[in-house]
Amino acid sequence: MKLYNVAYSGNSYKVRLLLAQLGIPCTIVEVDILKGESRTPAFLKINPNGRTPVLEDNGFVLAESNAILAYLARGSRFLPEDRHRWALVFQWMFFEQYSHEPYIATSRFLLQHRPDSPERAAALAVRREGGWAALRVMEGHLTENDFFVGNCTIADIALFAYTHVSHEGGFPLDDFPKIRAWLERVKTQPGFMPMG
């Protein structure tokens, strides 16, 4: 397997984390998106959308981080076979991409990689309420649950990736004790590896 990866990206990290937890060897190919490497003709042949991560597996090419998680997790403890629990895993993964990542992850990117952008302050401001709303939903769910769907699944991996660095996007977790406790539970899972 080969993973086209951006080291500081939560979307790439979630794939690396699952690979590590499943014990699957993988060649990592770093892509410098800040230098436009995901927009070269060679990369666009791999993924016409020009985004990372991308997984290559014996000629099969798959983009979109959560699709890659589902592909890798099939038949493992990270993706339940029970129809209802399986659906709930995907409910949380869609939540992560639609209600969490666009606010928390993009704020982190703007703060880390666009410090001189004149539009930065306005872009950050429009992401504030969405990010806080996502964290409140997570906190509420974790009040009565140790993980998002039963045991640790790819839903937890997907949400962990940007939540554990949410402070880097201006979303500190001081008022979210259930999320902080959940982050620690995820870190104790077999095969866990840090982002850096």
The pLDDT value recorded for residue 160 is 98
Residue 193 in any domain: the answer is no
| Domain termination residue (choose one: 55, 73, 91) | 73
Residues 172, 102 share a domain: yes
Query: Which residue range is the domain that position 101 belongs to?
Result: 83-187
Q: What Rg do the C-alpha atoms of the chain give, in angstroms?
A: 17
CATH of the domain at 115: 1.20.1050.10
- For 22-55, the pLDDT digits (tens) are 999 999 999 999 899 999 999 999 999 999 999 9
Residues 88, 26 share a domain: no
The pLDDT value recorded for residue 114 is 74
| Domain termination residue (choose one: 43, 73, 103) | 73
The pLDDT value recorded for residue 81 is 96
The pLDDT value recorded for residue 79 is 98
Residues 151, 102 share a domain: yes
Residue 94 in any domain: the answer is yes
Q: How far apart are CA 81 and CA 18, in angstroms?
A: 18
The pLDDT value recorded for residue 119 is 82
The pLDDT value recorded for residue 48 is 97
Sign of CA dihedral 85, 87, 91, 93: positive
Residues 169, 94 share a domain: yes
Burial of 58 (0-12, 13-18, 19+ CB in 10 A): exposed
The pTM of this model reads 0.95
The pLDDT value recorded for residue 118 is 75
Which residues of the chain have a pLDDT value below 50?
A: none
Residues 151, 111 share a domain: yes
The edge-to-edge listing of strands for the beta sheet with 54-57 is: 27-30, 2-5, 54-57, 60-63
Give the rounded distance of the alpha carbon of 44 from its chain centre: 22
How many domains in the chain? Answer: 2
Residues 140, 48 share a domain: no
Residues 127, 99 contacting (CB under 8 angstroms)? no
